[in-house]
Chains A and B, each alone.
Chain A
Amino acid sequence: MGVALQTLGLNKRFGGLLATSEVSFTLAEGARHALIGPNGAGKTTLVNLLTGVIPPTSGKVLLHGTDITRLSPDQRVRRGLARTFQINQLFPTLTPLDTLGLAMTERLGRGNDWLRTAGSHPGIAEAIAEVAERFRLTDVLTERTSVLPYGKQRLLEIAVAFASQPQVLLLDEPAAGVPESERHDILAAVAELPRSVSVLLIEHDMDLVFSFAERISVLVNGAMFAEGNAEEIANDPRVQAVYLGDAGHD
C-alpha cells in the first residue's frame, strides 16, 4: 500500500517546551488510523503542524511523497488534505447548502470566479445533494447553521471537510460533546467514509477508537510512544500504564 501522509523528524518548540519531538509517522493509503494520547500529549499541536496552521521548528511533512511543509493551510486543502475541528468551526450565517457549495467550489479552483453565480458550475448541485445525503443534512440544507441542533452542526463539521474531496482526512474528536441520542448518526457517518479517503482519527473516546481504527499510534509528551494494530495497543502494558491506566481502565 502507498503512503498518503508522512512526517519526517518533526519538531515543534514553544519557548522551552518541546511540544512535538522527532515525530516520524506514516499514514497508509486508505488507512483507518487513530492517534491517541493523554491530555497534553501534543495531539493538537501535531494536527496543526500537519495542516499548516503553525510551522514546525524542524522536520518535514509529505503528502503523497510531495513536501508540503512550507504550504499554507488553504494550499494544503487544495492538494487534498482536509481536517475537522474539535470545537465546531462553521460559518454561522451561511446555510449548509452554501457551506458545502463553498468547499466544493474552492476545491475545483473556482473560488475566484466573481462574475458567475455560485452553484452554476455543472454537477455541483448533484455533488452537494450527495454529500448532504451521506451526512444526513438534507432536511436542514437551507437553515442557517447557527440554528442547527448541535448534532447536525457536528455532522456538518465533517461534511464540510469531506466536501473538499480530500485524499487525507484528519478527524479531530468528531463526536466530542455530542449527546448520546445523536451520537449514532455521527459514528455511522464516520464509519461509512469511503476507502478512497485515508483517515487519521484524533480521539479520546476509546470505544470509538477501537471500533474504528485498524491501526493506532500513541503520542506521549510530544513523542511517538507506541504504534500497532488495535489488539497490540490494547494489550501493551506500557500503553496501559501511561494512558489507559489513568483513564479508568475497565
Chain B
Amino acid sequence: MSNVNVPHLLLSRHRWRWPEIAFWLAAFACLLMPSKHLILNEIAILALFALSLDLILGYAGIVSLGHAAFLGAGAYIAGLFAIHVNGDPLLGLLAAAAACGVLGFITSFLVLRGSDLTRLMITLGVALLLGEIANRAAWLTGGADGLQGITMGRLLGLFEFDLYGRTSFTYSLVVLFVLFLLARRLIHSPFGHSLTAIRDNPLRAAAVGIPVKRRLIAIYTFAAIYAGIAGALLTQTTQFVGLDVLSFQRSADVMLVVIIGGAGYLYGGLIGALGFKFLQDWLSALTPQYWHFWIGLILVALVLIGRDRPRRLLHSVQKYVTNRWQSLTGSKAAGSSTGGA
C-alpha cells in the first residue's frame, strides 16, 4: 500500500514535458518568418495580456471585464515615459510595470469582496473610468487623436525598431518567454497552489491558514504588472497609443482569448491568442462584415462543449505520443507521468 513515492509525485509535476519544449521551439522558430513578424508581434503581446488575465481568472478565480485598464495604463505610461523622460525601451517597460503594479495594488482592494457579478462590475467600472480620464486629459494623452510623437531608442542600445517588426517581434517574444517562465514558477510554488485553493473554496482556504485577502491582493497586483508590460510592448512596438487600449472591446477580447485557449492553464492564454488572431484573420478574410458572428458562434460552442476540452485534448495527444514513443524505442521510464491505476 505505501509503495506510493510521495517525493516523486510532488516534484514530477513541474518538470518540463516535451510538448512544452516543442511549443517554445516553434515559437522561436517563427523568427525565421520575416513576412509575418508584424502579426506575430501582435500575437505575442496578446498572449502576454491573456496570460495576465489567466493568472487572476483561471488560477485565483477573480473574474474581470476590465482588464484593459492595466493594458491601457501600461501603454500610456510607456508612451509618456518615452516622450518626456527617456526613450530607452527597457526603462520604459520597467516604468510601466511599476506604475501598473501600484494601480493594481490600489484597485485590488475593490475586488476582494463580493460576488462574481460585483467583481465584473467593479473591474468594468475602473476600465471605463480610466478610459474617460484618458479621453478628457487630451493635453497629456492626446485624447481621441491618440498619443503621438513617440520615438523609441535602440533596444539595448543596439537594435533599432524597424518597419518590418523584426526587432519588435524578437523583443516581445523574449519578454513573453521570460515572464512566462516566472509565471510558471509561481504557479508551481506554494503560493500558486494556495491561489487554486482560494478559487476552489475560500472558506476552507482560510481554515487551513491561508491569508486569503493578502494572496488575492498579491496576485492581482502581479497580474496588473503583466498586463502593464503587455501595454508597454504595444506602445513601444507601434510607437502610438490610441484610446482603444482602454476600451471594453480589449477587455472582452482578452476574456475570449482565455476562454478559447482554456482557463487555469498557463498555455491557455498563449494558445488562445494564436487561435484568436488566426480566427480573426481567417474569418474576416472569408466574410469581412460578419466575423464577429462567427466568433460569437465559436464562443457559444466552446462554452457548451466545456472550457477545459482543448486542454484535455492536448493531454491525450501528449499521452498517446509519449506511449508510442516509448513502445517504439522500447524504453520504459518506470512509472513516469503515464502511471495510472
Which single residue of chain B is at the shortest CB-CB distance from A136? B1
For B145, what are the chain A residues with a Cβ–Cβ distance below 8 Å? none
Q: Is B4 an interface residue (CB 8 A)?
A: yes
Q: Is B14 an interface residue (CB 8 A)?
A: yes
Q: Which of B4, B185, B208 contacts A115 (CB 8 A)?
A: B185
Dominant secondary structure of chain B at its interface with chain A: helix
B-facing residues in A32-73 (Cβ within 8 Å): 51, 72-73
Q: Is B203 an interface residue (CB 8 A)?
A: yes
B6 and A111: CB pair below 8 A? Answer: no
Interface string of A100-113 (1 = CB under 8 A from B): 01110111001111
Interface string of A102-128 (1 = CB under 8 A from B): 110111001111111111100011101
Which single residue of chain B is at the shortest CB-CB distance from A97? B9
Q: Which of B7, B191, B201 contacts A113 (CB 8 A)?
A: B191
For B1, what are the chain A residues with a Cβ–Cβ distance below 8 Å? 138-139
Q: Which stretch in B34-42, B94-102, B192-200 binds the other chain? A: B192-200
Interface string of B1-44 (1 = CB under 8 A from A): 11010110111001000000000000000000000000000000
For A133, what are the chain B residues with a Cβ–Cβ distance below 8 Å? 2
B189 and A89: CB pair below 8 A? Answer: no
Known A78-B209, A102-B194, A102-B197; contact A115-B204, beta-carbon cutoff 8 A: no
Q: Is B210 an interface residue (CB 8 A)?
A: yes
Known A102-B197, A105-B190; contact A125-B185, beta-carbon cutoff 8 A: no
B193 and A98: CB pair below 8 A? Answer: yes
Q: Which of B185, B190, B196, B207 contacts A111 (CB 8 A)?
A: B190
Interface string of B285-300 (1 = CB under 8 A from A): 0000000000000000
A89 and B190: CB pair below 8 A? Answer: no
Q: Is B125 an interface residue (CB 8 A)?
A: no
A145 and B191 alpha carbons, distance in the complex (Å)? 20
For A138, what are the chain B residues with a Cβ–Cβ distance below 8 Å? 1-2, 4
Q: Is A210 an interface residue (CB 8 A)?
A: no
Q: Is A187 an interface residue (CB 8 A)?
A: no
Which single residue of chain B is at the shortest CB-CB distance from A115? B185
B87 to chain A, nearest CB (A): 32
A73 and B207 alpha carbons, distance in the complex (Å)? 6
Q: Is B206 an interface residue (CB 8 A)?
A: yes
Q: Is A11 an interface residue (CB 8 A)?
A: no
B-facing residues in A73-110 (Cβ within 8 Å): 73-75, 77-78, 82-83, 85, 89-94, 97-99, 101-103, 105-107, 110
Q: Is B211 an interface residue (CB 8 A)?
A: yes
A92 and B201 alpha carbons, distance in the complex (Å)? 8
Q: Is B186 an interface residue (CB 8 A)?
A: yes
Q: Which of A51, A114, A128, A141 contacts B207 (CB 8 A)?
A: A51
B239 to chain A, nearest CB (A): 34
For A114, what are the chain B residues with a Cβ–Cβ distance below 8 Å? 185-186, 189-192
Q: Is B47 an interface residue (CB 8 A)?
A: no
Q: Is A198 an interface residue (CB 8 A)?
A: no
Q: Is B259 an interface residue (CB 8 A)?
A: no
Q: Is A27 an interface residue (CB 8 A)?
A: no
For A126, what are the chain B residues with a Cβ–Cβ distance below 8 Å? 6-7
Which single residue of chain A is at the shortest CB-CB distance from B186? A114
Which single residue of chain B is at the shortest CB-CB distance from A113? B190
**Interface-central residue, A85, A118, A125, A133, by most chain B CB under 10 Å:** A118
Q: Is B188 an interface residue (CB 8 A)?
A: yes
A98 and B188 alpha carbons, distance in the complex (Å)? 11
A117 and B185 alpha carbons, distance in the complex (Å)? 7
Q: Which of B7, B196, B209 contacts A103 (CB 8 A)?
A: B209
Q: Which of B2, B188, B210 contacts A74 (CB 8 A)?
A: B210
A160 to chain B, nearest CB (A): 6
Q: Which of B6, B14, B205 contacts A97 (CB 8 A)?
A: B6
Q: Is B216 an interface residue (CB 8 A)?
A: no
For B210, what are the chain A residues with a Cβ–Cβ distance below 8 Å? 74, 102, 106, 111
For A73, what are the chain B residues with a Cβ–Cβ distance below 8 Å? 206-207
B193 and A102: CB pair below 8 A? Answer: yes
B7 and A91: CB pair below 8 A? Answer: no
A-facing residues in B163-197 (Cβ within 8 Å): 185-186, 188-194, 196-197
Known A97-B9, A114-B191; contact A164-B209, beta-carbon cutoff 8 A: yes
Q: Is A129 an interface residue (CB 8 A)?
A: yes
Q: Is B212 an interface residue (CB 8 A)?
A: yes
Which single residue of chain A is at the shortest CB-CB distance from B198? A91
Which single residue of chain B is at the shortest CB-CB distance from A83? B207
A10 and B54 alpha carbons, distance in the complex (Å)? 44
B212 and A97: CB pair below 8 A? Answer: no
For B196, what are the chain A residues with a Cβ–Cβ distance below 8 Å? 91, 93-94, 98
User: Known contacts A90-B204, A129-B6; can you find 16 more A-B pairs with CB under 8 A?
Assistant: A73-B206, A77-B206, A77-B208, A89-B201, A91-B197, A91-B204, A94-B193, A97-B9, A102-B190, A105-B190, A110-B190, A111-B194, A114-B189, A117-B185, A128-B10, A141-B4
User: Considering the complex of A and B, which 3 residue pairs feature the smallest CB-CB distances, nearest first?
Assistant: A119-B10, A77-B209, A114-B191
**A interface residues, Cβ below 8 angstroms from B:** 51, 72-75, 77-78, 82-83, 85, 89-94, 97-99, 101-103, 105-107, 110-120, 124-126, 128-129, 132-133, 138-139, 141-142, 160-161, 163-164
Interface pairs (16), CB distance under 8 Å: A73-B207, A74-B207, A77-B207, A77-B209, A85-B203, A89-B204, A92-B201, A97-B10, A99-B197, A102-B208, A114-B185, A118-B10, A119-B10, A128-B6, A142-B9, A164-B208
